């Protein structure tokens, strides 16, 4: 955690706040002084997060991020409670491996809706509030959106859409002084799960593609998100920031040993 207070009095909406990464993002912003609006489907998990952060500075809003009306309501509830919105973190998403031959149209539509369309809808819903605050958007992409992977063609496409949507939206909203960036994590797990099967095997394989040893944690992603949303990144927009131990820096060629 950090002793900084870069977000004192600011309001941050985090979608998908009931997951590992979403929860870590909410905690990071709260530690830096922000009011948190946690939006997701699982109300029980959201309520637990609000209890942890303190109900005076956190609000849970049950939200289906694939429905514009839900997102409109969440943004309005955030503005009514805390007086406005300064940051939107579009973190909600879903992922599963599937061989292309087994990939159905329903799988494709689900991954596009939960990952890509939700990011678009969230930005539209937050825009009137962000125009007033001259705030920022941080989208959660993935290294999958920067290249291809076996068994993840639909997820690659969905996160690739998030990547280029972020770049295009940065130009569309730059005139309003709204910054739009994205973080692209690799496989990210909590430390307590790193030694449990099959996670340990996945991490060992991922490490062979990285420049740094070890693995990324939700707190690593949260730190990158907080930086991009802060005044420290005031001249950053359209940036896709990998949090991947250097994996995306590789040439892709087999190493010479």
| pLDDT tens-place string over residues 22-45 | 999 999 999 999 999 999 999 999
Global pTM value: 0.95
Residue 104 in this model has a pLDDT that exceeds 80: yes
Q: Output the pLDDT for position 187.
A: 84
Q: Which domains does the chain have, with CATH numbers?
A: 11-243 (3.40.50.720)
Runs of H (alpha helix) within 11-112? 20-31, 43-53, 68-82, 105-111
Instruction: Give the whole-number percent of the chain exceeding pLDDT 70.
Output: 97
Residue 3 vs residue 114, higher pLDDT: 114
Q: Compute the average pLDDT of residues 116-145.
A: 97
Q: In sequence order, which residues have a C-beta less than 8 Å from that of residue 56 and are 6 or more positions away?
A: none
Q: Output the pLDDT for position 199.
A: 76
Rounded to a whole number of angstroms, the CA Rg of the chain reads 18
Mean pLDDT of the chain: 94
Runs of H (alpha helix) within 92-215? 105-111, 118-133, 153-174, 199-207
> What's phi and psi for 243, nearest 5 deg?
-120, 85
- Confidence grade of residue 1 (pLDDT, cut at 50, 70, 90): very low
Residue with tokens 């955030």: 78
| pLDDT tens-place string over residues 150-178 | 999 999 999 999 999 999 999 999 999 99
- Confidence grade of residue 191 (pLDDT, cut at 50, 70, 90): confident
Q: Compute the average pLDDT of residues 63-90.
A: 98
């Amino acid at each position: 955690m950090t002793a900084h207070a870069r977000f004192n009095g600011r309001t941050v909406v985090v979608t998908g706040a009931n997951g590992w990464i979403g929860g870590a993002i909410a905690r990071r912003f709260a530690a830096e002084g922000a009011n948190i609006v946690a939006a997701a489907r699982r109300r029980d998990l959201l309520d637990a997060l609000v209890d942890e952060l303190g109900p005076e500075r956190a609000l849970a809003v049950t939200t289906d991020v694939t429905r514009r009306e839900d997102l409109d309501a969440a943004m309005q509830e955030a503005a009514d409670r805390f007086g406005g919105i300064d940051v939107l973190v579009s973190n909600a998403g879903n992922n599963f491996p599937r061989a292309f031959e087994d990939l159905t149209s329903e799988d494709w539509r689900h991954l596009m809706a939960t990952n890509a369309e939700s990011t678009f809808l969230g930005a539209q819903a937050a825009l009137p509030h962000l125009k007033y605050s001259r705030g920022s958007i941080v989208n959660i992409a993935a290294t999958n959106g920067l290249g291809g992977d076996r068994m993840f063609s639909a997820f690659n496409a969905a996160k690739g859409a998030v990547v280029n949507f972020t770049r295009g939206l940065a130009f569309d909203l730059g005139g309003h002084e709204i910054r739009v960036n994205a973080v692209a994590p690799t496989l990210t797990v909590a430390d307590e799960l790193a030694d449990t099967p099959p996670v340990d095997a996945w991490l060992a394989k991922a490490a062979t593609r990285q420049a740094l040893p070890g693995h990324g944690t939700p707190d690593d992603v949260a730190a990158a998100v907080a930086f991009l949303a802060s005044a420290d990144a005031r001249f950053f927009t359209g940036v896709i920031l990998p949090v991947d131990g250097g994996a995306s820096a590789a040439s892709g060629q087999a190493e010479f040993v």
